[in-house]
Amino acid sequence: RVTISRRLPLRPLSRLGLAASFNLPGALSSLSFILDRYSGAQRTLSIIAWVDSDNQWRYWSSAGAYVLLTPAINLAALATLFHTVKFVIDPSTGNYVSLLIDNATFDLSGIGAQVTTDATLPHLLVQVRLNGNLGVNSTAYIDDAIITANEP
């Protein structure tokens, strides 16, 4: 497992986005994009993940479980070296807003992220997590990972 992490000062309550470009090597088990916001009283955990075993995207729900996105997007069938993902959350409501995967757009408004009580000092933790297959060394490329604020 490889995790790219960045801890940032807490941003004002505006819509936040996480965008990145990535490739899919043959030995990648899963890929997750994580926005983890700590307010000093609450933790809002938002995850968008792709899993190779079913070639499906999913989001982390308010109930603390993954939910498959529909319709499915078959990344392996897309003729592109790099894929792009961007998802937006609204910390003021604790909801997801939208998800863009290559040219497919998902309206996630009204879908809650997982919000729990947590007294951790205020900050924003951003992560891109790659899980490889057991016993296989692979190389994956992550490019242009950015955090945006004041998203529409």
The pLDDT tens digits of the residues spanning 91-107 come to 889 999 999 998 889 99
What is the average pLDDT score of the chain?
87
Question: How many C-beta atoms lie closer than 10 Å to residue 145's C-beta?
Answer: 17
When pLDDT is averaged across residues 17-35 and rounded to a whole number, the result is 85
When pLDDT is averaged across residues 14-36 and rounded to a whole number, the result is 86
pLDDT at position 13, please? 76
Are 108 and 99 spatial neighbours (Cβ–Cβ below 8 Å)?
yes
pLDDT at position 44, please? 94
Phi, psi of 72 (to 5 degrees): -70, 150
pLDDT above 80 (res 136): no
Question: How many C-beta atoms lie closer than 10 Å to residue 20's C-beta?
Answer: 20
pLDDT at position 86, please? 94
In this structure, which amino acid lies at residue 152? P
pLDDT tens column, 57-92: 999 999 999 999 988 787 765 666 788 999 999 988
